[in-house]
Amino acid sequence: MSHHLVEVKDLQYRYPDGTAALNGISFLLTHGEAAAIIGANGAGKSTLLLHLNGCLMPQTGEVRIGGLPLNKDTLAHVRRTVGMVFQDPDDQLFMPIVYDDVAFGPLNLGLPPAEVDQLVNASLATVGASHLKDRPPYRLSGGEKRAVAIAAVLAMSPDILVMDEPSAALDPKTRRQLIELLHTFKHTRIIATHDLDLVLDLCSRTIILKDGRVAADGPTLEILQNQELLDSCNLEKPLCLQGCPVCGAKSGAIV
């Protein structure tokens, strides 16, 4: 199923004010893979993600989604294939009620009303937000907003899901529910996050960014146990890989 492939080749990006945010990034993700993009603040994670659905266009290098190079002609197709959950749900929700917001994408795709209705209900149910259907989005809690934002993206039936810090500002239980939810997806998933425990739970592969470059790319367990590497990238071992502070025992029982 080549349409779930994500390939980035020597991607560079410089913001108009001169900040070099990406300095040559390359990787290839295959079908159904869940990859984490981690790195310090300002490492370039969000900038990278914005390239994956053409919110930013590559200045040098190339992005290929499902074998197609990202350019003006393929933009519509790419946006349909790649569902993007933004860092701040407030940026994403803008219709007066939740139902209409989730319907926004499918309607833009030109689907018939009956099908849209079904899609909206199904995706709200998937994220457990059916009861929020008639509420205005700006009156929801942070976690509810996040759930609705994810539903809005799911309703477009993307093949690839891209998320920028999905677990930020969630309470422990909601965060757990989100992780369970993401576990059930068969999509190719790309998650930029600072939540390394979530990475450990969810992603088999991890890419570390540092100053707009790939500092490491490999199996999550291997990377998150490399103390030296993590230190050099301003990161910290996830709690569950650290020794138990109470009894001093090393916990390594995670696989």
Partner 1 sequence: MGNIETSLLNIGYLETLSYQQTPLQRLDPRVKLLTTLVFIIAVVSFGKYEITGLIPFVIYPVALIAVGDLPPAYLARKILLAAPFAFFIGIFNPLLDRTILVHLGPVAISGGWVSFASIMLRFCLTVSAALILIAATGLNAVCLALDKLGAPRAFVMQLLFLYRYIFVLTDEALRLVRARALRSFQGRGLGLKVFSFMIGQLLLRTLARARRIHLAMLSRGFAGRIHLLRPLHLGGRDVLFLLGWSTLFVLLRWYNIPHLLGNLAAELIG
Ligand X SMILES: Nc1ncnc2c1ncn2[C@@H]1O[C@H](COP(=O)(O)OP(=O)(O)OP(=O)(O)O)[C@@H](O)[C@H]1O
Q: Which residues bind partner 1 (CB under 8 A)?
A: 50, 53, 55, 76, 79-80, 83-84, 86, 88, 90-92, 94-97, 100, 103-105, 107-109, 113, 116-117, 134, 136, 138-139, 152-153, 156
Q: Which is nearer to partner 1, 41 or 173 (CB)?
A: 41
Scanning the structure block, which residue is given the tokens 């997806």? Answer: 185
Strands of the chain (E only): list them: 6-14, 20-29, 34-38, 60-65, 68-69, 82-85, 160-164, 188-192, 205-210, 213-219
Q: What are phi and psi of 168, to 5 degrees?
A: -65, 140
User: Which tokens belong to 203?
Assistant: 């992603």
Q: Which is nearer to ligand X, 102 or 198 (CB)?
A: 198
Least separation, in Å, of the C-beta of 94 and Mg ion? Answer: 21
Q: Pattern of binders to Mg ion over 34-63, x per CB under 5 A?
A: ------------x-----------------
Q: Which is nearer to partner 1, 84 or 241 (CB)?
A: 84
4 binds, among Mg ion, partner 1, ligand X, none (CB under 5 to 8 A by kind): none
Residue of 45, 145, 175, 189 interacting with ligand X (CB under 6 A): 45
Amino acid residing at 205: R
User: Which tokens belong to 78?
Assistant: 């790419």
Q: Which helix (H) or strand (E) covers residue 157, if one does?
A: none
140 binds, among Mg ion, partner 1, ligand X, none (CB under 5 to 8 A by kind): none
By CB under 6 A, which span of 16-24, 57-65, 173-181, 237-245 interacts with ligand X? 16-24
Q: Does 19 bind ligand X (CB under 6 A)?
A: yes
Q: Does 42 bind ligand X (CB under 6 A)?
A: yes
CA distances (Å), 110 to each of 28, 46, 107, 156, in order? 31, 29, 5, 11
* C-beta separation of 53 from 162 below 8 A: yes
Least separation, in Å, of the C-beta of 112 and partner 1? Answer: 11
197 binds, among ligand X, partner 1, Mg ion, none (CB under 5 to 8 A by kind): none
User: Which tokens belong to 48?
Assistant: 């990278």
For residues 77 and 205, give the distance between their C-alpha atoms in angstroms, rounded to a whole number: 26
For residues 137 and 96, give the distance between their C-alpha atoms in angstroms, rounded to a whole number: 7
By CB under 6 A, which span of 15-23, 93-101, 146-154, 226-234 interacts with ligand X? 15-23
Least separation, in Å, of the C-beta of 13 and ligand X? Answer: 8
How many whole angstroms from its chain centre is CA 88?
12
